[in-house]
């Protein structure tokens, strides 16, 4: 009679699962499985074994998109800005350095205690002499990273990795009005690709550079050019590592991205910074109005901003000049017009550093 009564909730109430929890658990588990599959593919590539292309089905893409990567990326961004106690900085940063193979000897400040939070560590600057800018070639790498693909654009399709393509028009969005460009454009009756090529005898080229978490996170101007227009696409924040890029068609069109377009001495030139998981923040130094990974996300929308109407000459950029930064690591896509004798000095899969030549005439 002296025993206390235990009040318990009904079994059905205890084990009640909400749809959101099911989506997060299922999507997160599947994302983990994909990471393991990516690791196996990397091991096969290292052994020189060619990996066949196997694209994700619609339900697999939908399941991956169910993971709240935008919310997680915002949370990760806030966590990165939390100031670490001085005694904790070296152990935390040392673990990151060991995990991702960071070369701190190249950093402008090698002392780990100098970086108050993870965000400052990710955005660390380099010593000027460790990244000399190549003066002999017309186009240099805008960042450190890995070359995923490069070559001519054909049939309005661009390769994100070998054998997996995406639509040029879906990626860049509708054609920008002639008033916002310094040069005349092709008649509207031509294909989207032909409309971007402004000079007879020129071709459209592309290059995709993947920035790993351990890479230098700033990106620079790849050539001398003038930025006329910025287009911001809100979107998903799926991983853009080579394994996922090989698996999801039009991955770069699904993800959030910032497209900078303008012109260089040979015509059309564009640089696109593609966001990814935990990389909700894309910063362009001269564009203070840009705010990426905003909670007010409208699927399928984009925001335009013209630098011609606000600055009559656009934004002139010199080769090697600081342009922007990611918060962790992501992808840079260059799409530009050049004469037919333009040659890339690259191999797919090679590591490249900012300042090294991509190609020249």
318 within a domain of the structure (yes/no): yes
Domain range enclosing 356: 139-174+192-360
Q: Which long-range contacts (CB under 8 A, 24 or more apart) does 193-196 make?
A: 193/153, 193/155, 193/156, 193/168, 196/268, 196/335, 196/337
120 within a domain of the structure (yes/no): no
Q: What is the mean pLDDT of the chain?
A: 81
Whole-number Å distance between alpha carbons of 148 and 350: 8
148 within a domain of the structure (yes/no): yes
Structure confidence by residue, pLDDT tens digits, 134-160? 888 889 999 999 998 999 998 888 887
Q: pLDDT: is 343 or 76 the higher one?
A: 343
259 within a domain of the structure (yes/no): yes
109 within a domain of the structure (yes/no): no
Per-residue three-class SS string for 19-68: HHHHHHHHHHHHHHHHHHHHHHHHHHHHCCCCCCCCCCCHHHHHHHHCCC
234 within a domain of the structure (yes/no): yes
Q: Would the pTM count as exceeding 0.85?
A: no
245 within a domain of the structure (yes/no): yes
Q: Is the CB of residue 210 less than 8 Å from the CB of residue 146?
A: yes
Measuring CA to CA, which residue among 101, 92, 89 is closest to residue 144? 101
Q: Is the model's pLDDT at 123 over the cut of 60? A: yes
What is the set of active-site residues? 144, 220, 330
Whole-number Å distance between alpha carbons of 172 and 196: 11
Q: Is the model's pLDDT at 27 over the cut of 50? A: no
Structure confidence by residue, pLDDT tens digits, 84-117? 999 999 999 999 899 888 899 999 999 999 999 8
333 within a domain of the structure (yes/no): yes
The count of domains in the chain is: 1
Mean pLDDT value across residues 306-330: 84
Per-residue pLDDT, 51: 60
Per-residue pLDDT, 214: 84
CA 298 to each of CA 232, 236, 258, 302, 303: distance values in angstroms, whole numbers, following the listed order: 12, 11, 15, 8, 10
């Amino acid at each position: 009679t002296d025993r206390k009564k235990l009040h318990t909730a009904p079994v059905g109430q205890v084990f009640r699962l909400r749809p959101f929890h099911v989506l997060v658990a299922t999507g997160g588990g599947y994302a983990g499985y994909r990471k393991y599959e990516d690791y196996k593919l990397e091991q096969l590539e290292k052994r020189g074994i060619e990996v066949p292309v196997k694209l994700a089905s619609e339900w697999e893409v939908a399941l991956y998109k169910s993971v709240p990567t935008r919310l997680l990326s915002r949370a990760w961004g806030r966590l990165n800005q939390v100031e670490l106690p001085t005694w904790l900085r070296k152990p935390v940063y040392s673990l990151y350095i060991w995990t991702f193979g960071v070369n701190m000897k190249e950093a402008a400040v090698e002392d780990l205690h100098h970086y108050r939070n993870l965000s400052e560590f990710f955005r660390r600057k380099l010593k000027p002499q460790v990244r000399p800018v190549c003066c002999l070639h017309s186009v240099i790498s805008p960042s450190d990273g890995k070359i995923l693909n490069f070559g001519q654009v054909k049939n309005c399709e661009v390769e994100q990795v070998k054998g997996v393509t995406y639509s040029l028009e879906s990626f860049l969005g509708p054609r920008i009005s002639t008033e916002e460009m310094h040069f005349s454009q092709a008649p509207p009756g031509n294909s989207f690709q032909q409309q971007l090529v402004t000079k007879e005898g020129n071709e459209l080229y592309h290059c995709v550079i993947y920035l790993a978490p351990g890479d230098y996170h700033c990106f620079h101007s790849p050539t001398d050019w003038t930025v006329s227009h910025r287009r911001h696409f809100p979107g998903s924040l799926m991983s853009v590592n080579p394994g996922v890029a090989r698996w999801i068609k039009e991955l770069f069109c699904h993800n959030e991205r910032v497209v900078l377009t303008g012109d260089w001495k040979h015509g059309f030139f564009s640089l696109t910074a593609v966001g990814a998981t935990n990389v909700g923040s894309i910063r362009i130094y001269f564009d203070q109005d840009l705010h990426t990974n905003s909670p007010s996300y409208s699927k399928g929308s984009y925001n335009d901003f013209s630098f011609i109407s606000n600055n009559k000459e656009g934004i002139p950029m010199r080769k090697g000049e600081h342009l922007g930064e990611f918060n962790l690591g992501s992808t840079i896509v260059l799409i530009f017009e050049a004469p037919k004798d333009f040659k890339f000095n690259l191999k797919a899969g090679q590591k490249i550093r900012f300042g090294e030549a991509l190609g020249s005439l």
